[in-house]
Amino acid sequence: MPESLDNVKAANPGPVLDYELLLDCVHCGLCTSACPTYAETGDENESPRGRIYLMRGVTDGKLGLTDRVRSHLELCLDCRACETACPSGVQYGKLIEPFRIAMDQADASRPRGDWFRRYILFGLLPYPKRLRWALTPARIAQRTGALAVARALRLTRLLPSPLRRMVEMLPSPRRNEGALPEFLPAIGKRRATVALFTGCVGDAMFRHVNWATARVLQHNGCDVHVPPTQACCGAIHFHAGANEPAWQLADTNLAAFDPQRFDAILNNIAGCGSMLKEYGHHWHDSQQPARAAWAAKVRDVNEFLDQLGPERPCGEIRAVATYHDPCHLLHAQKIHDAPRRLLALVPGLELRDLPETELCCGAAGTYNLMQPDMSSRLSRRKIENIRHTQARVVITANAGCALQIAREAREQGERLAVVHPMEILDWSYRGITPRWQSIS
């Protein structure tokens, strides 16, 4: 069994890995064409195969954990596209995630941009109340036009890089519908009892998507419960190498959602869903069986509705749209057809295939804040592919993807509406004609 992450003190992070997982890779190279960083750089060290070589070399003591080795591993988006492409079933996520956490813990003296990690990444983003409060000045600047003036004069470029990226990604202000109640009853005959995971950034910036999700579930005969003591899924901490806080957040959610009460625990953000579904894998203690049982109840809302059998929406939505697959929905959760089948039910909606939909947009959680150069290269590539579809509406089931694509669209002067599948269904169920808002 791999050693516990908490026991890693040596400079070699390899002992945390199940070594047999490293040996699953036969180095055939079929993963390279699926890897976004390799597609951009052509550097074998920035392919999944190359990174497995590096991790194995460090583990075997043949390579030192140098800054160069670290940089190749840190540039990985953890998008898991290689898992989809791999014919040998290599579980790359179970290699890169614990290795990077242990790598982070192995050298506590290494500088990591502590101010941003401590105050923004860990102290602000995972807490929706704090985040809404912190966004208030920016929202005022948006509504008064001050932010547009600052952007036009390039004053935002005076901010530190990660803060500038956050300002650039800020979505247009919307009417605040208020917090979801703890219970929303099914409309018509009850078909299921579900709990809704609302997320941190999702609740602070995309509360309208949570409302749309709840209404769609009600229309499909679901009693919807929203546990008030739920917390961030822990992905922000976990993917940034902070194992212990992620563990604590997971156990907070374990206590907030009683899986025995619900037919499913639902989420509408692909990155959160991937993290929630893997609670039973990440930490090995006496709570592991409970986490695994809890995680077994987690479903993406697209996946759940597709399996439930959705009520057919009647409201016409005339739009040419394209669907972008979030990496942690397509590659980590293996969900491809469900959102497409749901959207195909909407009268008037023309859904066009997106070239390279399987390639990451560069968001990858907080990757776009920590690795801005590669993130921007990938978002430019994504917008170019969207242009090929001639769609004016981009549909995606992940908050980070929505923010990333909308930011790049503004940068390039593209007038795109970026929406969630649940918004489309909600408008159709309620017979509402959406007022597509410009991203500029």
DSSP string spanning 189-203?
Answer: S--EEEEEE--SHHH
Tens-binned pLDDT, residue by residue, of the chain (440 aa):
444 444 433 468 888 888 899 999 998 989 998 999 999 999 999 999 999 999 999 999 998 888 899 999 999 999 999 999 999 999 998 899 889 888 877 665 555 557 788 888 898 899 999 998 888 888 888 888 888 888 888 888 888 888 888 888 888 878 778 899 999 999 999 999 999 999 999 999 999 999 999 999 999 999 999 999 999 999 999 888 788 999 999 999 999 999 999 999 999 999 999 999 999 988 888 999 999 999 999 999 999 999 999 999 999 999 999 999 999 999 999 999 999 999 999 999 999 999 999 999 999 888 888 898 999 999 999 999 999 999 999 999 999 999 999 999 998 999 999 999 999 999 999 999 887 643 33
The answer for residues whose C-beta is within 8 angstroms of residue 34's C-beta and 6 or more apart is: 81, 82, 84, 85, 358, 359
Exposed e or buried b for every residue in 331-352, given b needs 16+ CB within 10 A? bbbebeebbbebbeebeebebe
How far is 226 from 136, CA to CA, in rounded Å? 25
CATH class of 5-106: mainly alpha
Bridge-partner residues for 256, per DSSP? none
Domain ranges in the chain are 5-106, 114-440
- DSSP state, 176? -
- Contact by Cβ (8 Å): 292, 282: no
The burial of 367, by beta-carbon neighbours within 10 Å (0-12 exposed, 13-18 middle, 19 or more buried), is given as: buried
- Contact by Cβ (8 Å): 387, 416: no
Instruction: Look up the pTM and report it.
Output: 0.91
- DSSP three-state, residue 282: helix
